[in-house]
Structure 1
Amino acid sequence: MAVGSATSVEKESTRARFTGAGCAGIAELAVFHPVDTTAKRLMSNYGKITSAAQLNTVVFKDKAGASVPGRFFSLFPGLGYAAAYKVLQRMYKYGGQPFARDILAANYGQQFDNAFGKGNGKAILHATAGSLIGIGEIVLLPLDVLKIKRQTNPEAFRGRGVFRIVADEGFGLYRGWGWTAARNAPGSFALFGGSAAAKQYLYKLEDYNKASWSQNFVASIAGASASLIVSAPLDVIKTRIQNRNFENPESGFKILSNMAKHEGASAFFKGLVPKLLMTGPKLVFSFWLAQTLIPAFNKIM
């Protein structure tokens, strides 16, 4: 069995990392933005959905009675914000994790091997690098806030353009940053760790960049599924913080308390099934594409 050391990591060029990650983000946006809107609206809904008519209203809002094309295109609000956020996020996350991984490997790789053993150490190092990058993702939070509000609460804009909102709200656009970081840390740890574990233990790979497209696909399923399940409760809280009207914010702890009191424990996993069935493939798709394209671009750049 090949056992990779945490001190030995794959090397790709900076251009290959960001080009591969950026292409993955663009492709994901083009295919999955309507799915993301549906999941966000389900997570933002208070109470239980008891009928198909109610589900139709929750998902399509004021376009619930429109034609099929009208309802479909209603799932594309905030596409400009989504484009900026998603492409930058994927470039940062998928392109940035290798840099964090390189730094950890160079300075702490031996400690990871000593603490967890070779193979285990390398997989956990990949996961830790992902977690650190996930925390730093809060820099892009204002774009995520604007995207989610356009998807779930468009009346919050009330005729204001993006520059007017930024000027009016300032650092208020970072509302919920602590909950976002708390969600991203374990979620990104599970995403990169689950993928690395699949390559390490299922396929016995020492060099993860040598994974085939099918091996990357299976590894992406493992990482994405683990990430969505681990981060689900905090993701619901984060979404509810961000979709409130600008002038009527609510703290994460108050939302948590009200959810537990009025909706029960199952509320913390609202939208999980749609996320696994719809958002899950979105994450699998982009992560698989990034893991496949980055080594491919590295060979030609």
Structure 2
Amino acid sequence: MSPTAHSASDQKTTGLARVLGSATAGIAEISVFHPVDTISKRLMSNHTRVTSAHQLNQVIFKNAAMEPFFKRVFTLFPGLGYAACYKILQRVYKYGGQPFANEFLVKNFRDEFDSLFGPKNGKALMSATAGSLIGIGEVVLLPLDVLKIKRQTNPESFKGRGFLKIITDEGFGLYRGWGWTMARNAPGSFALFGANSFAKEYIFGLKDYTQATWTQNFVTSIFGASASLIVSAPLDVIKTRIQNRNFDNPQSGFTILKNMFKNEGITSFFKGLVPKLLTTGPKLVFSFAMAQSLIPAFDKLMKK
């Protein structure tokens, strides 16, 4: 088969460039967006209908709801240490790891994707599939995510215990909800990298995704982030509710699913979606666009 019959391959970047670019994006993201993430998690964890500004204030600021504004703002930074560790590792793994998975698929399955979907669609779908595979493996970081969410939404569950004490006490209990996490990550990451790649193919006509400008990365990241958040929203709500409960009061995802249907209705599976699109969406767009721009920039810098 001639080279033109194949989907085009992106220029390879070094592993170090992928780590540095992704880590820098993660650090920038956590510095700017941690309070926003706390608000989103507290809204998703809320089981009641919010019908007034007073109730919204109670949900977001909890026991500090009646404190002065600046004191309330500082309550949005719980679990920052866990969040920093988790987010930086997650971004390095996800943004830095997806190109490796994509290169594996290109090397071993490019002909199959091209013949089934055509060269342009095949390339975008390989990127999406690589993202999905990486998203499934992200479950290894689940304990840090669990501790971050509990600090944000249910700090009483720590009962004065430190990190090492919790690890010792809870063990594999910190992987509670791992199945739901994988179920959320697979389609979510597929949509993130897939929509991003399709936008690069069909909006900007890029042959090499690593040559995208900052503006192109920003625009295509909007498509990817929006698709990812919408697709993963129902499973994300279930995952968050599993993880934010007390350590000694676990509840299965199926029980939560049943209770949500019974007590809150179908719309409960999309609780927090609009705030998440308005808050987590920009966060994801910011870090994804930054990583896609910084990785080739670091690569060029190190090759000089």
RMSD (Å), alpha carbons: 1.0
Q: Offset at 1:299?
A: 0.4
Corresponding position: 1:136 with 2:144: no
Report the equivalent of 2:227: 226
Report the equivalent of 1:40: 41
Is contact 2:10–2:207 with CA below 8 Å preserved after alignment? no
In structure 1, C-alpha distance between the alignment counterparts of 2:259 and 2:6, rounded to whole Å: 47
Corresponding residue SS for 1:249: coil
In structure 1, C-alpha distance between the alignment counterparts of 2:22 and 2:234, rounded to whole Å: 27
Is contact 1:42–1:271 with CA below 8 Å preserved after alignment? yes
Report the equivalent of 1:192: 193
TM-score, normalised with respect to structure 2 = 0.97
Q: Deviations over 1:36-71 (max 9, x none)?
A: 000000000002012111110100011111111111
Task: Report the AA paired with residue 258 of structure 2.
Answer: S
In structure 2, C-alpha distance between the alignment counterparts of 1:97 and 1:216, rounded to whole Å: 16
Task: Report the AA paired with residue 200 of structure 1.
Answer: E
Report the equivalent of 1:212: 213
Is contact 1:6–1:125 with CA below 8 Å preserved after alignment? no
Corresponding position: 1:156 with 2:147: no
Q: Offset at 1:10?
A: 2.8
Corresponding residue SS for 1:119: helix
Is contact 2:180–2:239 with CA below 8 Å preserved after alignment? yes
TM-score, normalised with respect to structure 1 = 0.98
Task: Report the AA paired with residue 98 of structure 1.
Answer: P
Q: Deviations over 1:143-177 (max 9, x none)?
A: 00000000000000011111111100000000000
In structure 2, C-alpha distance between the alignment counterparts of 1:223 and 1:268, rounded to whole Å: 21
In structure 1, C-alpha distance between the alignment counterparts of 2:222 and 2:48, rounded to whole Å: 31
Report the equivalent of 1:105: 106
Gapped regions of structure 2 (runs ≥ 5): none
Is contact 1:4–1:207 with CA below 8 Å preserved after alignment? no
Report the equivalent of 2:183: 182
In structure 2, C-alpha distance between the alignment counterparts of 1:4 and 1:261, rounded to whole Å: 53
Gapped regions of structure 1 (runs ≥ 5): none
Is contact 2:170–2:247 with CA below 8 Å preserved after alignment? yes
Q: Deviations over 1:206-265 (max 9, x none)?
A: 111111111111000000000000000000000000000000000000000000011000
In structure 1, C-alpha distance between the alignment counterparts of 2:174 and 2:61, rounded to whole Å: 25
In structure 2, C-alpha distance between the alignment counterparts of 1:93 and 1:4, rounded to whole Å: 30
